[in-house]
A and B are shown apart, each in its own frame.
Chain A
Amino acid sequence: MFFIRICFMAIRGLLANLLRSLLATLGVIIGVSAVVSAMSILEGANRDILRRFESMGADQIMVMNGSSQRQSRQAVIPSLTEDDATALESCSLVTAVAPEVQASTQIKYFSRNMGVTVLGTTEAYAKINNYKTREGQFLTPEEVRAERKVCVLGHKVAEELFGETTAVGRRVKINAMPFTVVGVMEKKGVLGFRDVDNQVVVPITTAMKRMFGMRNVMMITVQAKNRDVLEAAIQQVKRTLRGEHGIRAGSDDDFLVFTQEQFKAQLADVTKIFTVVLGSIAGISLVVGGIGIMNIMLVSVTERTREIGVRIAVGATGLTILVQFLIEACIISVLGGALGILLGLLFADFLENYTGVLKTFTPASSIYLALIMATVVGILSGIYPAYRASRLDPVEALRYE
């Protein structure tokens, strides 16, 4: 009861100087809102990336161009070819292999045209990703082998170009080259890092030789027999590719192999770095906020010297004065924390709804953390002013002008 009354007394003291109290807590408001919105962005991005990884399937092995020993400034020398993909198909622990190339270009159907991603791959792509057609059929081995000018449209591309009418059998122009639509894919959204609904799939042979004049593939997706043999399959893939590329024992691979788990581990590392950076910024801003509160509290103690004298005269002990001022500092700080959280949430919401690119997610832990930190800042910045108030000599305080 006594404690609650002291709290009320402190709140009344703060309300009497509302503007000053708000200015005192401005540092904490900004600090906490920055932390909450940054944490929301970080966590949102993290979840978005994880979701994309998980859409790829845990039994997949991604083989990419590049060397693990490569210096960051060196350019990637592409090493993967269609032959590598063919070689990987003969591995015993591998069920499917899909080499991929991609490029951005325009697709046109009479007067309608749109920007799309063209993916050159083989019939295995649909199988590995469990990606089905809504209309017509996916690429056939025959179409890939013969470098046919056929294409399979993503859900959104078909809708944009043909609306409700059927797309299969129509002729479109991709990169100013005529193609026949053989299928339309189901609505899928995101697969890996691609928005597959906005994608046009063509035979890899057609894409590499007839459209873009490429000699290397960008990536090979390999599906292992099952998750249990994933490690063994990776070793088999590496051995096969080293053999294909003629790499001697002791030399480094000229390709990179990833699995979903490895991507996740790397993501966790990156997240950790960002968390540390954000945490440091948050720490600094809260220290600044704390100094602001301490400053105002010191002014308040000086300004209320006589009041403190009266309070001691009517029976307050040094400890009650200390507690009262400490509570005032904490209320300022926690109030700032609460306003900061609100502001941070609003900002995160604004970013998600108005930029359309960023995904945000505010974990409950970041809110608790912000409140705890605001309280700690309040206590730390209030200790010295409160101690000074509690040590005032009542006779001197009553005489203070």
Chain B
Amino acid sequence: MIRVHQLSRHYRMGSSIVRALDGVDLAIRGGEFVSITGASGSGKSTLMHLLGCLDRPTSGLYEFNGRLVHKLSDRQLAAIRNRTIGFVFQTFNLINRTSALDNVTVPLIYGRKGNTRAAAMEALRRVGLAERARHKPSELSGGERQRVAIARAIVNNPQIIFADEPTGNLDSRTGRQILEIFHTLHAAGVTIILVTHEMDVAVQAQRLIRMKDGKILEDRVVDDALRGEMEAADERFRLPQGAGVGSTPARSG
């Protein structure tokens, strides 16, 4: 589905050139659940923007569904984003002045589809938010907003969903619920590409790509061993029962 060869993206910052992405080779098959992880500035978001057809590479080849992306016009890229790609962002990026339903309708309008209301309601139902359809984003909780964003991403039945830190602004319980939705979508055959810097989120995927300084550091299958490692690490940092964050240590002297 996705094949990139020596993909680079350089930015000019004053007199110096920042190599946000530096010669990346990668292949992702349809139906995979991939997480891309790495520290801030490692190039994971840049990679996602390029793979999501939001940006064009400085050099290298990108083949999406057998088509060379650099040869496509802006209009063709917009059509690909509209029909085959769904985006979910950390900050939800909903249009605040309109209802949840209207937010979900937007991709259908640009896709020039008929009967947008019914399709948007169906997408909201899939994320369990049908009864909140008339509410504005400001009247919804963080988790609900992210579910509206997911409904917007899936309303055109895309083949692939790019999620950029989708749990970053949510508490862990809500975050787990959101990840559950991604698992359901994946089970239905949708390719999921999850960009995150949280390892416990990253190991939810089948495959993990670790990036550093614009290059792929590691590309491996997520197995039970890696999950066990993560849980052990998590355990080490977990505080003992009763020693809450807010408790005041006893003073001596």
Q: Which A residues are within 8 Å of any B CB, using their own CB?
A: 1-2, 5-6, 9, 12-13, 16-17, 306-307, 309-320, 393-395, 398
Of residues 67 to 101 in B, which have CB atoms within 8 Å of A's CB atoms? 74-75, 78-79, 81-83, 87, 89, 93-95, 97-98
Q: A395 contacts B106, CB within 8 Å?
A: no
Given A16-B97, A398-B93: A314 in contact with B112 (beta carbons within 8 A): no
- For A16, the chain B residues whose CB sits under 8 A away are 97-98
Minimum C-beta distance from A10 to chain B (A): 12
- For A395, the chain B residues whose CB sits under 8 A away are 49, 54-55
Once bound together, how far apart are the Cα atoms of A17 and B96, in whole Å? 12
Q: Which B residues are within 8 Å of any A CB, using their own CB?
A: 49, 52, 54-55, 74-75, 78-79, 81-83, 87, 89, 93-95, 97-98, 102, 106-107, 109-112, 114, 116, 152, 156
Once bound together, how far apart are the Cα atoms of A309 and B114, in whole Å? 24
Given A16-B97, A307-B95: A314 in contact with B106 (beta carbons within 8 A): yes
Q: A312 contacts B97, CB within 8 Å?
A: no
- For B83, the chain A residues whose CB sits under 8 A away are 315
Once bound together, how far apart are the Cα atoms of A12 and B101, in whole Å? 14
17 A-B residue pairs with CB within 8 Å: A1-B112, A1-B114, A2-B112, A12-B97, A16-B97, A310-B93, A310-B95, A313-B52, A313-B81, A314-B87, A315-B81, A315-B111, A316-B78, A317-B74, A394-B55, A398-B54, A398-B93
Partner of B74, one of A5, A17, A307, A318: A318
- For A306, the chain B residues whose CB sits under 8 A away are 93
Partner of B110, one of A1, A309, A320: A320
- For A1, the chain B residues whose CB sits under 8 A away are 112, 114
- For B55, the chain A residues whose CB sits under 8 A away are 393-395
- For A314, the chain B residues whose CB sits under 8 A away are 81-82, 87, 106-107, 110, 152
Q: B109 contacts A6, CB within 8 Å?
A: yes
A-B interface pairs (CB < 8 A), number: 66
Once bound together, how far apart are the Cα atoms of A317 and B110, in whole Å? 8
Chain B residue nearest to A316 (CB atoms) is B110
Once bound together, how far apart are the Cα atoms of A1 and B112, in whole Å? 8
Once bound together, how far apart are the Cα atoms of A1 and B156, in whole Å? 18
Q: B74 contacts A398, CB within 8 Å?
A: no
- For A316, the chain B residues whose CB sits under 8 A away are 78, 110
Chain A residue nearest to B136 (CB atoms) is A16
Query: Chain A's interface: helix, strand, loop or mixed, by majority?
Result: helix
Minimum C-beta distance from B91 to chain A (A): 8
Minimum C-beta distance from B94 to chain A (A): 8
Once bound together, how far apart are the Cα atoms of A311 and B94, in whole Å? 10
- For B81, the chain A residues whose CB sits under 8 A away are 312-315
Given A9-B109, A394-B54: A317 in contact with B98 (beta carbons within 8 A): no
- For B152, the chain A residues whose CB sits under 8 A away are 314
Chain A residue nearest to B110 (CB atoms) is A315
Minimum C-beta distance from B126 to chain A (A): 17
Known: A317-B78, A395-B54. 12 other contacts (CB 8 A): A1-B112, A2-B112, A12-B102, A16-B97, A310-B95, A312-B54, A312-B81, A314-B110, A315-B111, A316-B78, A318-B74, A398-B89
- For A309, the chain B residues whose CB sits under 8 A away are 93
Once bound together, how far apart are the Cα atoms of A91 and B89, in whole Å? 98
Once bound together, how far apart are the Cα atoms of A3 and B43, in whole Å? 39
Once bound together, how far apart are the Cα atoms of A318 and B49, in whole Å? 17
Q: B109 contacts A13, CB within 8 Å?
A: no
Minimum C-beta distance from A244 to chain B (A): 84
Minimum C-beta distance from A87 to chain B (A): 84
- For B52, the chain A residues whose CB sits under 8 A away are 313
- For B54, the chain A residues whose CB sits under 8 A away are 312-313, 394-395, 398
Minimum C-beta distance from B161 to chain A (A): 12
Given A313-B52, A313-B87, A317-B75: A13 in contact with B97 (beta carbons within 8 A): yes
Once bound together, how far apart are the Cα atoms of A13 and B152, in whole Å? 19
- For B156, the chain A residues whose CB sits under 8 A away are 315
- For B94, the chain A residues whose CB sits under 8 A away are 310
Once bound together, how far apart are the Cα atoms of A13 and B96, in whole Å? 10
- For A2, the chain B residues whose CB sits under 8 A away are 109, 112
Chain B residue nearest to A15 (CB atoms) is B97
Q: A311 contacts B110, CB within 8 Å?
A: yes
- For A319, the chain B residues whose CB sits under 8 A away are 75
- For B87, the chain A residues whose CB sits under 8 A away are 313-314
Once bound together, how far apart are the Cα atoms of A315 and B80, in whole Å? 8
Once bound together, how far apart are the Cα atoms of A313 and B107, in whole Å? 9
Q: A12 contacts B75, CB within 8 Å?
A: no
User: For B49, B54, B98, B111, which residue has the most chain A Cβ atoms within 10 angstroms?
Assistant: B54
Minimum C-beta distance from A111 to chain B (A): 74
Minimum C-beta distance from A317 to chain B (A): 4
Once bound together, how far apart are the Cα atoms of A319 and B54, in whole Å? 16
Once bound together, how far apart are the Cα atoms of A314 and B87, in whole Å? 7
Q: B82 contacts A315, CB within 8 Å?
A: yes
- For B106, the chain A residues whose CB sits under 8 A away are 310-311, 314
- For B97, the chain A residues whose CB sits under 8 A away are 12-13, 16-17
Once bound together, how far apart are the Cα atoms of A202 and B173, in whole Å? 105
Minimum C-beta distance from B179 to chain A (A): 21
- For A12, the chain B residues whose CB sits under 8 A away are 97-98, 102
Chain B residue nearest to A311 (CB atoms) is B106
Chain A residue nearest to B97 (CB atoms) is A16
Minimum C-beta distance from A390 to chain B (A): 10
Q: A315 contacts B107, CB within 8 Å?
A: yes
Once bound together, how far apart are the Cα atoms of A13 and B106, in whole Å? 13
Once bound together, how far apart are the Cα atoms of A394 and B106, in whole Å? 16
Once bound together, how far apart are the Cα atoms of A313 and B163, in whole Å? 12
